[in-house]
Amino acid sequence: MGGPRRQARRRHDGGAFSVTQYLDTPQGRRIAYVQTPGAGPGLVFLGGFKSDMTGTKAQFLENWARETGRAFLRFDYSGHGQSSEDFLDGCIGDWAEDALQAIRMLTTGKQVLVGSSMGGWIALLVARAMPERVAALVGIA
């Protein structure tokens, strides 16, 4: 089980390039993610049910993070977007574990969790599991 792997570059609507990388979790899942370096507390976008990290909310937030110099992480839960596994084999517990692993393995310090729809519930589960790593929660629809 390893660290990040780079894939291809994609044009970001802010003009910058986003690089999709992959995280292999201890559960054997491969999680696709895009990360932007910057100051903390960092921002972590948690998508909704059947959503992926290429949605407009995630990309808008990434643009804002770049413009303001904030660290930012967006990722696809297992069974979503570019991540491994079949959607029908997953459940919210699996997706919460994906979020926990992404935050543990890809970020440092406190994070602001921005959860969209189901991602808001996952943000609460993350905050309960690792309160020391959460600076704030933001729920959006």
State pLDDT tens for residues 96-121: 999 999 999 999 999 999 999 999 99
Is the link from the previous residue into 41 a cis peptide, with omega within 30 of 0?
Answer: yes
- pTM given for the model: 0.87
Quote the mean pLDDT of the chain.
90
Domains and CATH numbers, the chain: 5-140 (3.40.50.1820)
> How many C-beta atoms lie closer than 10 Å to residue 25's C-beta?
19
Quick: pLDDT tens for 54-109.
999 999 999 999 999 999 999 999 999 899 887 788 899 999 999 999 999 999 99
Q: Are strands 30-36 and 39-46 parallel, antiparallel or unpaired?
A: unpaired
Rounded to 5 degrees, φ, ψ at 66 are -60, -45
Q: How many CA atoms lie within 13 A of 8 on its CB side?
A: 3
Given pLDDT bands bounded at 50, 70 and 90, which one contains residue 11?
A: very low
Q: What are phi and psi of 130, to 5 degrees?
A: -145, 65
Tokens of 57: 């909310």
CB 111 within 8 A of CB 39: no
Torsion of CA 69, 139, 73, 76, to 10 degrees: -150
pLDDT band of 3, cuts 50, 70, 90: low
